[in-house]
Structure 1
Amino acid sequence: MRHLIDPTDLTVEETERIVALAEDIIANRAKYRESCKGKKLATLFYEPSTRTRLSFTSAMLELGGEVIGFSDASSSSVSKGETVADTVRVIRCFADIIAMRHFKEGAPLVASQYAGIPVINAGDGSHAHPTQTLTDLLTIKREKGRFDHLTIGFCGDLKFGRTVHSLIKALSRYEGIRVMLIAPEELRLPDYMLQEMRSASKLEFREVRTMEEVMPELDILYMTRVQKERFLDEEEFDRVKDSFVLDPGKLRTARPDMIVLHPLPRVNEITREVDNDPRAAYFRQVENGKFVRMALIYTLLRWADENRPFARIPVFGEEYVVNGMTCSNPRCISATEDVDQLFRRAADGVCRCAYCEAKAR
């Protein structure tokens, strides 16, 4: 059974096939109109979402399938204390594929172990957002024509930005990728991500404090919101906030063919005047999300049909270190639900939680 929990669950070749399929869907939408007829997608959204949930819904409907699920955890049995594992074992009786967004990091991985049907991670806490990564990759392909030999600047909240973490992982597998990390000290990329980037032989990266330092070098500027609530000192936030607001003035030194991406929603980190610049690709990016999710749903359902009967449940897909350790992350699903404490030993010898990648303790 194949799932999409992390961007690297797909090989480079599989990722590119899904992107190519999305491009074919864009060019031949009528060809796929009934391709998932008789199939049901369950959207299990434990936290608020606009673009991602509606994108999945629209994608399945355009493929001729049906959609069930919930958009608020309080309207589900989770309000009665039901676990993720039990929820998905129930949902598999009604649906063929699941898209899950959860506020606890690692919840979709737990779901994939018990569901018996394909599970798509639609965002888990601040950990990962692989379908946004596919959306970003499709946008990059359509706008820039390639995935390699690109310089991309990630700006804003890099510490809690799951879209940033996922896209860096995906791009690190291509040649000639240079990453510029533009963030205040309080919102730097997490240490585990920096360690992964140091060990990625194909990736070059640099940390800077303002976008002006690197703007002329960029092929892509990936904006995210600087979150005021993450700062303990409001004066510190006031000091740095304007450094991370994109306006026409900051674009003066940018290349004519640079593109601006943003996973949305935005607050004030991109001024309204930038919307009229042809380099602003973030609303085109939203539409691409529907097409790449159509391609993903179509692909996972085909793979599931080819590999029936379902594997045993629970399913643990690799070797894990299990020796009485616990995860150090209070936002991890393992901190609040009765799940197996699973850890992977990284190349540097550090044991990291399989659900959220935090260090073991």
Structure 2
Amino acid sequence: MNLMQLYDMIDLDQLSVEEIMDLIALSDSIRKNPWAYRESCRGKIMATLFYEPSTRTKMSFQTAMYRLGGEVIGFDNPENTSVSKGESLKDTITVVSGYADVIVMRNPREGAAAAASLYSKSPIINAGDGGHLHPTQTLTDLVTLYNEKGRLDHLRIGLCGDLKNGRTVHSLIRTMTRFPGSSFVLISTPELALPKYVRDVMDAAGCCYTEAASLERALPELDVLYMTRIQQERFASLEEYERQKGVFVLDGVKLRSAGPDLKILHPLPRVDEITVDVDNDPRASYFDQTVYGMYARMALILTILQSRDRPKKRKIPRSTHPHRCSNPKCITQTEHYLPGLFTEAGDMLLCSYCDEGTLI
């Protein structure tokens, strides 16, 4: 795919490594020469449709668009919109895509962005779909790593916390497996271990990975530590959440065993998994990460809006199988009109929306 034909951003898998590096280079150019881009999106409108709470991602996108000279519409509480009246995702997207030149959407249902792209006349940018993917956070992470570490290859990355529901973790692993020499240390409780479909990606890429039950033991061997919070909103009960939170906490004492070149990332918000005494450590990059994210999103918006016009009317694909996805969090569980789209992988059917595998 040529970047000039980037209609949607659902998953960074859409892009080649070379195209990802082009986006990183563009973000760097914007960061160093902001005035050269301040009118790039003049006359363009971006809609931000946030079906669940967000601070950094939503404000980062809004700021990015304003700095490019564009305008922003949208909502951050679906209870104040027709969604609360039962409006389908299809109808919301069809209407809003008639108003905006690009749509940024966050939705708690996995595969929602892919579903929205079927019906939108405007490009869709996935700002997080449940516990599935978060490609623009991953682009933020890549821009941060490239600037802070000077490379994206041969990095040993520790991922700590909620690896089961952490869409940022899933997206980052899937992308980093494409860079040579990537290896991973998975630090979580058994209940919050990485899903099988993400492990399958690592196995298929031939990436080395190990599991660790102790943050202290893993730290000395890491180039990067990617901390995540235990996400209360992903748990069925408060009791289950309370059993998991606070298991892994990074503090100044633990950091004594880490190397001087370690970089600490976190998609934020943090709760109690990184103590405030770490903030002043030169290895802490998570606040710089939020600024890099704004430039990463400026590069993405600019690239999409300067691409050739996408078809105004897309042909909706027919169902490929009579099955329905078995993932209870998949968008197809609530938007029943969606065609059943799957790809075959051995004796498995992989849902094209959420990547969940089902035995044939």
Q: What's the TM-score once normalised by structure 1's chain length?
A: 0.93
Q: Where do 5+ consecutive residues of structure 1 fail to align?
A: none
> Which of the residues 155, 173, 198 maps onto 2:160?
155
Matched position secondary structure for 1:127: coil
1:349 Cα deviation after fit: 3.3
Counterpart in the other structure of 2:104: 99
1:281 equivalent among 264, 275, 285: 285
Shift in Å at residue 9 of structure 1? 1.4
Kindly report which structure 2 residues correspond to 1:70-89, keeping only aligned pairs within 5 A, or say none: 70-89=75-94
Choose from 130, 133, 142 the match for 1:128. 133
Offset at residue 260 of structure 1 (A)? 0.5
Pick the aligned partner of 2:119 from 114, 118, 139: 114
From the superposition, tell whether residues 86 and 257 of structure 1 become closer, same or farther in structure 2 (CA, over 3 Å): same
Structure-1 separation of matches of 2:236 and 2:122: 40
Q: 1:234 to 1:38 in 2, by over 3 A?
A: closer
CA deviation digits over 1:15-55, x for unaligned, max 9?
11111100000000000000000000010111111000011
Work out whether 1:353 is the aligned partner of 2:355.
Answer: no
Distance in structure 2 (CA, Å) of the matches to 1:191 and 1:34: 45
Match of 1:169 in 2: 174
1:152 is paired with a residue of what secondary structure?
strand
3-state secondary structure, aligned to 1:180: strand
Please give the root-mean-square deviation of Cα atoms over the aligned residues, in Å: 1.9
Q: Within the alignment, does 1:223 sit opposite 2:224 as a pair?
A: no
Distance (whole Å) between structure 1 residues aligned to residue 242 and residue 183 of structure 2:
28
**Alpha-carbon displacement from aligned partner over 1:205-263 (angstroms, at most 9, x marks no partner):** 1111111222111010000113467487959965x755410001111110101010000
Whole-angstrom distance in 2 between the partners of 1:263 and 1:235: 23
Is the Cα–Cα contact under 8 Å of residues 321 and 344 in structure 1 kept in the other structure? no
Checking the alignment, whether the CA contact within 8 Å between 2:350 and 2:358 is kept in structure 1 is: yes
| Residues 212 and 42 (structure 1), Cα distance of their counterparts in 2 relative to 1, 3 Å cut | same
1:264 is matched with 268
Q: Say yes or no: does 1:331 pair with 2:329.
A: yes
Equivalence for 2:185: 180
Structure 1 residue 154: Cα displacement: 0.1
| TM-superposition CA deviations, 1:305-331 (whole Å, max 9, x none) | x2x361532455xxx972211111111
Q: Deviations over 1:150-185 (max 9, x none)?
A: 000000000000000000011010100010000000
The 3 A distance-change label for structure 1 pair 315 and 37 is: farther
1:145 partner letter = G
Please point out which of 199, 205, 222 is paired with 2:204. 199
Q: How has the CA–CA distance of structure 1 residues 106 and 26 changed in structure 2, closer, same or farther, with 3 Å as cutoff?
A: same
Kept after mapping to 2: 8 A contact 1:2/1:300:
yes
Which letter maps to 2:49?
A: L
Report SS of the residue matched to 1:207. Answer: strand
TM-score when normalising by structure 2: 0.93
Deviates more, 1:110-119 or 1:58-67: 110-119
User: 1:7: how far off?
Assistant: 1.6
Secondary structure of 2:132's counterpart equals coil
Corresponding residue of 1:310: 311
Aligned to 2:341: 342
The runs of 4+ residues in structure 1 deviating greater than 6 Å are none
- SS of the counterpart of 2:118? helix
Q: Deviations over 1:242-299 (max 9, x none)?
A: 5410001111110101010000001000001000101110000011111100000000
Structure 1: which amino acid aligns with 2:79? S
Aligned 8 A contact 2:122 2:310 in 1: no
Q: Unaligned stretches of 5+ in structure 2?
A: 1-5
Paired residues of 1:3 and 1:9 also in contact (CA < 8 A): no
The share of aligned pairs that are identical, in percent, is 51
